[in-house]
Amino acid sequence: MRLDKFLSDMKCATRSQLKKDIRAGLVTVNGEIVRQSDYTVDEKQDKICYKGNAYEYEKFVYYMLNKPAGVVSATEDKREKTVVDLLKDIGRNDLFPMGRLDKDTEGLLIMTNDGVLAHELLSPTKHVEKVYECTLAVPFDGIQKEALEKGVDIGEKKLTMPAKVVILEEKKIALTIMEGKFHQVKRMLQAVGNEVIYLKRVCMGGLALDESLQPGQYRKLTSKEVMLLQEKQ
């Protein structure tokens, strides 16, 4: 692979800027300064440094983010802080959120640059399970549970798919759904006469949120976790 392509794929800078920086001696390969943009590197073995920072080639990357409230699930926003802003220090600018969480919703969000996997997991035909912890305004009862598990009318052409409900406390449940309609969880609880006052996604596609991550913190997925998601394709 060409040196400038490697650094471009790592989103270090624009291709034109990289050419200038390479000529200026800001790039080393295995400890030696290289000034030719078309220099051939072995992306799997060579140690490549740009402005003193080492880069390892990864075509696709996957991060688990514990999304905090007050941050929007978008790649850019002129007024609001985005989930991409929370990962600015990893040296890549090609990440996007796999799906969306409402601004006031916390919890599991996968950040990646793998468009194919994201498309597969978000496809309505895949029915990927998503688990939410919901804190409610009023006590939750068996009648509401039965309704959610049968499917409820949230103003769409069809009822929601049957959900799974676990009552955790008088005003707290774990709700598992296999769809991703706009504000779906909130609309489902409204449909049974309740209201969500706090919402947190704790699982998606069998991948559980790492509870050691505080809101706003993130980590790379392990190879096992990536395989778990890929199995849903």
Our CA angle for 158, 188, 102, nearest 5°, is 110
Name residue, tokens 């919901």.
134
Q: How far is CA 216 from the centre of its chain?
A: 12
- The residue type found at 32 is E
Tokens of 162: 């049957």
The CA distance from 40 to 27, in Å, is 13
> Nearest Cα to 104, choosing from 63, 148, 135?
135
DSSP state of 142: H
On the CB side of 201, CA atoms within 13 Å amount to 31
| DSSP conformational letter for 210 | -
* Distance, CA of 67 to CA of 181 (rounded, Å): 19
Tokens of 69: 């409230």
Active site residues: 102
How many angstroms separate the CA atoms of 217 and 197, rounded?
Answer: 23
- Identify which of 154, 141, 161 has the alpha carbon closest to the alpha carbon of residue 190: 154
